[in-house]
Amino acid sequence: MTTEQICMMAAIAVYLIGMIVVGLLCTKRNNTVDDFYLGGRKLGPLVTAMSAEASDMSSWLLMGLPGLAYLSGIADAGWTAIGLAVGTYINWLVVAKRIRRYTQVAGNSITIPDFFSNRYRDSSRLLMCISALIILIFFVPYTASGFAACGKLFASLFGVDYMVAMIISAVVIVGYTTLGGFLAASTTDFIQSIVMSIALLIVIGFGVSVAGGLDAVTENAKALPGYLTMFETHNVAENTAEPYGLLKIVSMMAWGLGYFGMPHILLRFMAIEDEKKLKLSRRIASIWVVISLGVAVLIGVVGLTMSKVGALETLTGSNSETIIVKVADLLSRHGVLAALVAGVILAGILASTMSTADSQLLAASSSMSQNILNGVFKINMSSKTTMIVARATLIGIAVVAAFIAKDPDSSVFQIVSFAWAGFGASFGPVMLFALFWKRSNRWGALAGMLSGGVMVFVWKFLIAPLGGVWGIYELLPAFLVACIFIVAVSLLTGKPSKEITDEFEQVQAMK
């Protein structure tokens, strides 16, 4: 191993040890399951904002999105980024305060399945069971994508065996999350958002310099048909431009709909200590998201120019997602100090991965231990036993995710895209109607949840392959289908009880 590689590994080691230390420090503050899964609703506005967005962005911010822009131009990545930015803002503006109030009023719900069950007084626990299973179905592969990103990073840069690298990364993530729970995940996510920001700025600055300046980057991009326009996309194989129609634009912007159903983001809204501070959190989160998404897309464009001038090898397929790794490797060759800075960049990639994986593990663990074992099967356990089961469940889910992530050729962007659609369509419409429509009932919620989740699979694997107008992102049609089912089934079945409507009005009247 070279001196430069040792310096990068040292920087990464310091970062990883720091995350474990945070987990240890937070361990003593987890006295109850409420503390472990929701931090006792004690998050400050800055941690709420940055941990929510860090857990949201995941590895695709520093790997998937730049890779997409590198291969096909700014249209796909750009419209996706716009949809996400708009979705982020609306989610904070419309959902955050309402869900913070409603989850506390509705039985002090500490998980999303808890809230659905309490909101509709579902004594059968069917809503809780189905929503918990949906979380497991979609979060396990989502977590796997994070583990895969870590494995790709070390394998491509240090020549380490992919499986070994992936498993070591998973052990670290599981370690601090198991120790410190939600508070550790949120605190480390806050730190990780800072590391991610530093990494993005370093990469874009160094990349532009190596590429010959912004003028050179712009000229190279302009020379590629359809690469630098939001209304065409670049076909790499044929070096031609293909039209980017309105339907495709709407399809990519539909990514923003996913926010309304993301458990790991909604939990941050539920956990803030004071709802009055959500306004500050919204501003911080929105500004950070816009800047980070814009820089990530630009990195893909700059990376392509670096390949054209010979500074980087040409990347194809899922390898394009390692663009930032390649830039860090190039930077490390400029001396010891540069190698340490490159290590910070790699820590940023780890941060983007870990900040999402830890939150997903917690959400999946709570679904199994809190909602299925305790809520559905009514297995009574002491507080100590419950904590042991929660941690054991988290480890078990991580093992399954690691098994799924064993394929090094899997695309981070594609895995995240599918899981995002699954949550957005299954939970998004149900959450919006639960928060804002008094007439919705448990049968409508159940119908919306199931129809949205099923339609994601149907559209992805049966309809989208037909191509043409059918080749849109599965989240959009699935979201619409779920909304239709919620309204139709709610109106065709009995009205909610007076207890439920009184509670709704109580939340609505809160100032």
Q: What are the tens digits of pLDDT across the range 149-164?
A: 777 777 766 777 888 8
328: tokens are: 């860090």
> Is the per-residue pLDDT at 503 higher than 80?
yes
CA–CA distances in Å: residue 33 to residues 27, 37, 258, 385: 12, 6, 27, 10
Give the mean model confidence (pLDDT) for residues 43-57: 76
CA-wise closest residue to 138 among 400, 318, 352:
400
With vertex at residue 296, the alpha carbon angle to CA 293 and CA 297, rounded to the nearest 5 degrees, is: 90
Instruction: Give residue 461's pLDDT.
Output: 92
**Mean pLDDT rounded to a whole number for the chain:** 84
Instruction: Report which of residues 225 and 139 the model is more confident about.
Output: 225
> Is the per-residue pLDDT at 177 higher than 80?
no
What is the enclosing helix (H) or strand (E) of 243? strand 240-243
Give the mean model confidence (pLDDT) for residues 409-419: 70
Instruction: Give residue 38's pLDDT.
Output: 61
CA–CA distances in Å: residue 357 to residues 165, 365, 486: 16, 12, 31
338/336 Cα distance (integer angstroms)? 5
Strand partners, 233: 242
> Is the per-residue pLDDT at 57 higher than 80?
no
Handedness of CA 164, 17, 54, 24 (dihedral sign): positive
Helix-, strand-, coil-residue percentages of the chain, each rounded to 5: 80, 0, 15
Phi, psi of 316, rounded to the nearest 5 degrees? -130, 155
> Is the per-residue pLDDT at 42 higher than 70?
yes
Instruction: Report which of residues 46 and 217 the model is more confident about.
Output: 217
Q: State the residue for tokens 């394998």.
A: 155
Each domain of the chain, given as residue ranges in start order, spans 414-511
Instruction: Give residue 508's pLDDT.
Output: 92
With vertex at residue 156, the alpha carbon angle to CA 155 and CA 160, rounded to the nearest 5 degrees, is: 25
CA–CA distances in Å: residue 135 to residues 92, 100, 213, 422, 455: 22, 20, 45, 9, 16
443: tokens are: 């049968």
343/340 Cα distance (integer angstroms)? 5
Q: For residue 110, what pLDDT band results from cuts at 50, 70 and 90? A: confident
413: tokens are: 């962007």
129: tokens are: 């069971």
Q: What is the pTM of this model?
A: 0.84
> Is the per-residue pLDDT at 202 higher than 80?
yes
Report CA Rg, the chain: 22
Instruction: Report which of residues 210 and 184 the model is more confident about.
Output: 210
Using DSSP's 3-state secondary structure scheme, residue 234 falls into: strand
CA-wise closest residue to 176 among 397, 23, 12, 39:
23
CA–CA distances in Å: residue 288 to residues 49, 295, 493: 9, 11, 44
- Which segments of 261-338 are extended strands (E)? none
Give the mean model confidence (pLDDT) for residues 464-486: 93
379/389 Cα distance (integer angstroms)? 11
385/40 Cα distance (integer angstroms)? 19
Q: What are the tens digits of pLDDT across the range 96-106?
A: 999 999 999 99
358/360 Cα distance (integer angstroms)? 5
Dihedral in degrees, nearest 10, Cα atoms 197, 201, 204, 206? -130
With vertex at residue 197, the alpha carbon angle to CA 224 and CA 6, rounded to the nearest 5 degrees, is: 95
Give the mean model confidence (pLDDT) for residues 59-63: 72
Phi, psi of 407, rounded to the nearest 5 degrees? -85, 110
The residues near 18 (Cβ < 8 Å, ≥ 6 apart) are 191
Q: Let me know: does 355 contact 55? Beta carbons within 8 Å.
A: yes
CA–CA distances in Å: residue 467 to residues 69, 254, 425: 22, 18, 21
Instruction: Give residue 302's pLDDT.
Output: 92
421/505 Cα distance (integer angstroms)? 31
Instruction: Give residue 31's pLDDT.
Output: 64
Q: Let me know: does 149 contact 63? Beta carbons within 8 Å.
A: yes
Q: For residue 282, what pLDDT band results from cuts at 50, 70 and 90? A: very high
- Side chain identity, residue 50: M
What is the enclosing helix (H) or strand (E) of 240? strand 240-243
The residues near 403 (Cβ < 8 Å, ≥ 6 apart) are none
Q: What are the tens digits of pLDDT across the range 86-99?
A: 999 999 999 999 99
The residues near 454 (Cβ < 8 Å, ≥ 6 apart) are none
Instruction: Report which of residues 364 and 443 the model is more confident about.
Output: 443
